[in-house]
Homo-oligomer: A and B are copies of this chain.
Amino acid sequence: MEELKMRKIGIIGLGHVGATIAYTLVTKGIADELVIIDTNDDKTTAEEYDLRDTLARLDTFTKIIPQDYDSLSNADVVITAFGNIDSIKMDGDRFGELNFNTAAVEEVAANLKTSGFNGVLINISNPCDVVTTLLQQQTGLSKAQVFGTGTFLDTARMQRAVGQALHEDPKNVSGYVLGEHGESQYTAWSTVEVKGHPITKLAEEKGLDLTSFDQQARRGGWLVFSGKHYTCYAIATCAIKLAQAVLSDARLACPTSVYLEEYGHYIGYPAVVGRKGIIEVNSISLPIEEKAQLDNSAKIIKEKLNK
């Protein structure tokens, strides 16, 4: 009997986000094998044992494999969450991590290539759209196989902000935040509905200030960041939902950081996620002014890419 494959997930970067993802994959029994990798050996050992010590209290089992790129050769999904939180200034720009992470991309991509990894790569590292673009270029994986969490998180925050204002479950709010996972992101209000009703109509009727919701989505992370010096739970939850869609070929329709031919790089836009990564870009018709916002956001990503 040959060695049969199990559900194997790798996490590269064990800061608060990577560690939270590792913990969640173990505590929910989602991963059968979990490869955890970080530049800090002691930190990795610490996370390894904090996770192993949970196993006697869980009904599921996960094999924890520390610091082993080779083991990623047959992984289903790798999630990149490297970064240097200390390099983020409180000016609210996720590009603070750019220099640090550009260097990290080269190392991670080279290691992934050497490992023979050929699954789906989900990037969280910031600036998300830039790093995702670089990871795709440098790993040699296809554009379908690589994508970023992008505005999937910002959309969740917009759903929360709108839901909170209207006393609704965030899941009753549909629609998209598009563009850069960064300051130039924007809510495409033409796509947003609350329980099936266009929000633009509700806004008129109830005198809602949509720009404040947009601001809450954009600045939501900084509210969290300023109180705890990092954010982890919402972003981890987004990444895991995407990973599960890959594992079960769920064809999840959602905004992510996806490669658009039109711009020549990754950017937050609706897509469909399945076993092979991005199954489909879900093209939508945007009003002229919302399309202009997307173009503008793409331009900003491009500029940073060119640095």
Interface residues of A (CB under 8 A from B): 1-7, 19-20, 23-24, 26-29, 32, 40, 42-47, 49-63, 76, 118-119, 141-142, 144-145, 153, 155-157, 159-160, 163-164, 167-175, 191, 195-197, 220, 223-228, 231-234, 237-238, 241, 244-245, 247-253, 270, 272, 275-276, 282, 284
Contacts and interface: CB of A to CB of B under 8 A. Distances in A.
A1 B255 CA distance: 23
Contact of A56 (B45, B170, B251): B170
- Top 9 A-B pairs ranked by shortest CB distance? A46-B227, A53-B234, A59-B59, A61-B250, A56-B170, A46-B228, A56-B159, A42-B227, A56-B156
B249 A6 contact: yes
A276 B1 contact: yes
Contact of A2 (B45, B52, B118): B118
B174 A174 contact: yes
A251 B63 CA distance: 11
Contacts of A224: 46, 49-50, 53
A248 B26 CA distance: 11
Contacts of A197: 284
Contact of A142 (B1, B47, B238, B284): B1
A46 B276 contact: no
Contact of A270 (B28, B142, B196): B196
Contacts of A4: 76, 118-119, 275-276
B248 A56 contact: no
Contact of A156 (B53, B163, B270, B282): B53
A196 B174 contact: yes
